[in-house]
Amino acid sequence: MNTPLAGVIGWPINHSKSPNIHKYWLKKHGISGDYHTLSIKPEDFIKELKSLPSMGYVGANVTIPHKEAALANAREVTTRARAIGAANTLVFLPCGGYRADNTDGEGFINNIKQNAPDWDALAGQALVIGAGGAARAILYSLLAEGTPEILLANRTKSRAETLASEFGNRITVIDWADISSATIETKIIVNTTSLGMSGYDELKIDLRCSSQTLVTDIVYVPLQTNLLKEAANKGCVTVSGLGMLLHQAVPGFESWFGIRPIVDESLIRKILKR
């Protein structure tokens, strides 16, 4: 059998951490596959994607700006990718075409399960900040886990309202100005915006949470955002965003290379070094 190949397709794609993640697991499990970075322009995406299986590719990750096009052109689409409205993991099918999945929500939940095992989705209300692509995956996964109520705040309120109308009546849209007061009764607070990332503005909220509250961020540069630092100072449980990136890669690797890998300390150290 030929060496199975996978890769991440984006435009631009220079700074992706995915090759390091998958190469780490390939080496760890002694699999003679490889994982490449594929820089493909939007106008060439579908044509180039079609040519990959004949070159030995068994699948691919897709990132900005291809996530919606990857969904729209798929032969098969998973329920979660359809609900989230974007694909990040493709598996080429023996009969031609590909199955499109979205593993971001699974990555989000499994990061929390690994790092805050006491968190219980059923225990109470969530507060989600932001209404972009990442928020869609996180809302989907929190609802799938059974979260009874989600407060959703976004700078542009209409985007939050659109998400609430799509994802159903367990979501309540609140004003951006009310985020701080919404932290009081909340069991999990999630920043899905780019605020707090190096070079961006900070997310300024007055956290009124306790040791019963989990605070997590999708931003992982810096690893400990100001939001997480402040949450830790107030005694909240915190989970950083790097694990979401690592865990979202697990299902793709398993589909392509046949082994379900784990996110271990040595992978985390390797990715942090880069």
Residue 130, interface with ligand ATR (CB under 6 A)?
Answer: yes
6, 61 contact by CB (below 8 A): yes
Q: Which of 55, 45, 50 is nearest to 36 (CA)?
A: 55
Q: Phi/psi of residue 239, each to 5°?
A: -135, 125
Question: Residues near 47 by Cβ (< 8 Å), separated by ≥ 6?
Answer: none
Q: Which residue is nearest to ligand ATR (CB)?
A: 132
Residue 85, interface with ligand ATR (CB under 6 A)?
Answer: no
Residue 195, interface with ligand ATR (CB under 6 A)?
Answer: yes
CB of 28 to ligand ATR, least distance (A): 29
CB of 76 to ligand ATR, least distance (A): 24
Helices (H), the chain: 18-28, 45-51, 67-72, 79-84, 104-115, 133-145, 157-167, 179-182, 226-233, 242-248, 250-257, 265-273
Q: Phi/psi of residue 61, each to 5°?
A: -90, 150
d(CA 101, CA 92) in angstroms, rounded, equals 11
CB of 33 to ligand ATR, least distance (A): 29
Subset of residues 197 to 216 that bind ligand ATR, contact rule: CB under 6 A: 201
Question: Apex CA 64: angle with CA 61 and CA 70, to 5°?
Answer: 55
d(CA 45, CA 32) in angstroms, rounded, equals 27
Nearer to ligand ATR, 91 or 137 (CB): 137
- Write the binding mask 12 to 51 for ligand ATR: x where contact by CB under 6 A, - elsewhere: ----------------------------------------
55, 2 contact by CB (below 8 A): no
Nearer to ligand ATR, 160 or 263 (CB): 160
Residue 194, interface with ligand ATR (CB under 6 A)?
Answer: yes
CB of 222 to ligand ATR, least distance (A): 17
Nearer to ligand ATR, 50 or 157 (CB): 157
Q: Is 37 helix (H, G, I), strand (E, B) or coil?
A: strand
Residue 59, interface with ligand ATR (CB under 6 A)?
Answer: no
Residue 132, interface with ligand ATR (CB under 6 A)?
Answer: yes
**Per the residue annotation, which of 23, 28, 67, 187 is the catalytic one?**
67
Residue 131, interface with ligand ATR (CB under 6 A)?
Answer: yes
CB of 68 to ligand ATR, least distance (A): 11
Tell me whether residue 67 is one of the annotated catalytic residues. Answer: yes
Place of tokens 């690592």: 246
Residue 241, interface with ligand ATR (CB under 6 A)?
Answer: no
Catalytic residue ranges:
67
